[in-house]
């Protein structure tokens, strides 16, 4: 079965799900254009998940995906960490004019409740990162008529995704922007490039393989297909467009990146982005474990986004950011589809 027939799409082009800057408008546009629009649900409570899926369904009758993070077991709770932010971190709060928040009751919604909400909402596709669902949860997802896509940064992870019962796997190379979603080994030990990873995954599994990382135009799509990929997932090129929910400063940074870097300073987990003053400041201070660091920095980043302060945002972007020169998502999708030919 092809990826297109499995997911009910016309073009095997998947929008990368962005945590925090996903846009209903962008996801709908990609789905309406024949690809698979995606929306990241990181941090969303069950009622917000239901509202989001409803909004997506109101925008398109075509298939779309939502994305959840699978707990890895090493997440900390508020009681596990000290709550006296370093002076350098406090200075970032002062700069955007918000107070350092009190210790919260929880950093994230209950992941099982999130999954229950997705199953109840019945999107066409659920994609996951940072692991695989338990067998009973995979069964529940499929029983609801939902296709399941897992994510892998190594061949071993891809095999585990296939064995879990997923319908497809995203093989995401180290060039990709945002979090490195490794889970069988530390992320620093799982930095396999897309050109090395994709053909090995294709040889190792019998489910469709979606290539991700360093793909921003028709050349990247053609290369991924030549490596045996059934489709592609693209993030940064779409994040650059005006239809994304990224602040103007973030889109401008993608358009003119000097370099990207891997860091744990912003969230407590390894992620790729464009270095800025906030990142350099956070790297000078002790980094809390995930999700404590992500929750804490998210409080000043939200205000920095409202103020369009690119120097204080998390500027997630992949290594092909310099190729992301189109500012309309219609044009990006057309460019990528051209590579399928």
- Report how far apart, in Å, the C-alpha atoms of 96 and of each of 19, 267, 280 are: 22, 19, 17
Q: List the domain boundaries for the chain.
A: 3-340
What pLDDT is recorded for position 241? 97
Residue carrying the six token digits 């030990």: 189
Of 193, 12, 28, 46, the closest CA to residue 115 belongs to: 46
CATH code that applies to domain 3-340: 3.20.20.70
Of 211, 206, 207, 203, the closest CA to residue 153 belongs to: 211
Tens of pLDDT, residue by residue, the chain (341 residues): 899 999 999 999 999 999 889 999 999 999 999 999 999 999 999 999 999 999 999 999 999 999 999 999 999 999 999 999 999 999 999 999 999 999 999 999 999 999 999 999 999 999 999 999 999 999 999 999 999 999 999 999 999 999 999 999 999 999 999 999 999 999 999 999 999 999 999 999 999 999 999 999 999 999 999 999 999 999 999 999 999 999 999 999 998 877 999 999 999 999 999 999 999 999 999 999 999 999 999 999 999 999 999 999 999 999 999 999 999 999 999 999 999 98
Of 204, 150, 146, the closest CA to residue 8 belongs to: 146
pTM reported for the whole predicted model: 0.97
CA–CA distance, 230 with 210 (Å, rounded to integer):
6
Peptide bond into 204 cis (omega under 30): no
What pLDDT is recorded for position 187? 98
CA–CA distance, 253 with 29 (Å, rounded to integer):
23
CA–CA distance, 63 with 43 (Å, rounded to integer):
23
What pLDDT is recorded for position 257? 73
What pLDDT is recorded for position 265? 97
Q: In what order do the strands lie in the sheet with 147-152?
A: 13-15, 231-234, 209-212, 168-172, 147-152, 125-129, 64-69, 37-40
């Amino acid at each position: 079965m092809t990826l297109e027939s499995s997911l009910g799409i016309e073009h095997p082009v998947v929008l990368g799900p962005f945590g925090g800057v996903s846009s209903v408008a962008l996801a709908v546009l990609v789905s309406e254009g024949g690809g698979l629009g995606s929306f990241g649900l990181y941090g969303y409570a069950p009622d917000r998940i239901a509202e989001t899926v409803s909004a997506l369904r109101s925008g398109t009758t075509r298939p779309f995906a939502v994305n959840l993070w699978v707990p890895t077991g090493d997440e900390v709770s508020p009681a596990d960490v000290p709550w006296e932010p370093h002076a350098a971190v406090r200075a970032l709060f002062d700069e955007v004019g918000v107070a350092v928040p009190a210790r919260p009751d929880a950093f994230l919604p209950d992941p099982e409740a999130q999954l229950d909400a997705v199953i109840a909402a019945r999107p066409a596709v659920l994609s996951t990162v940072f692991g695989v669902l338990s067998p009973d949860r995979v069964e529940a997802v499929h029983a609801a008529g939902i296709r399941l896509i897992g994510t892998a940064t190594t061949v071993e992870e891809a095999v585990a995704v296939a064995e879990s019962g997923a319908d497809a796997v995203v093989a995401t190379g180290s060039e990709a922007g945002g979090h490195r979603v490794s889970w069988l080994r530390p992320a620093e030990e799982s930095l396999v490039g897309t050109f090395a990873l994709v053909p090995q995954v294709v040889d190792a599994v019998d489910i469709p393989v979606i290539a991700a990382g360093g793909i921003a135009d028709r050349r990247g799509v053609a290369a991924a297909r030549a490596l045996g990929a059934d489709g592609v997932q693209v993030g940064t090129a779409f994040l650059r467009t005006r239809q994304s929910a990224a602040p103007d400063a973030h889109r401008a940074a993608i358009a003119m990146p000097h370099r990207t870097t891997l860091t744990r300073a912003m969230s407590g987990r390894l992620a790729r982005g464009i270095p800025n003053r906030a990142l350099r400041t956070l790297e000078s201070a002790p980094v809390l474990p995930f999700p404590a660091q992500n929750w804490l920095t998210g409080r000043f980043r939200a205000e920095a986004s409202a103020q369009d302060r690119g120097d204080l945002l998390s500027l997630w972007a992949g290594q092909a950011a310099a190729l992301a020169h189109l500012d309309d998502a219609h044009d990006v999708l057309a460019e990528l589809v051209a590579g399928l030919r």
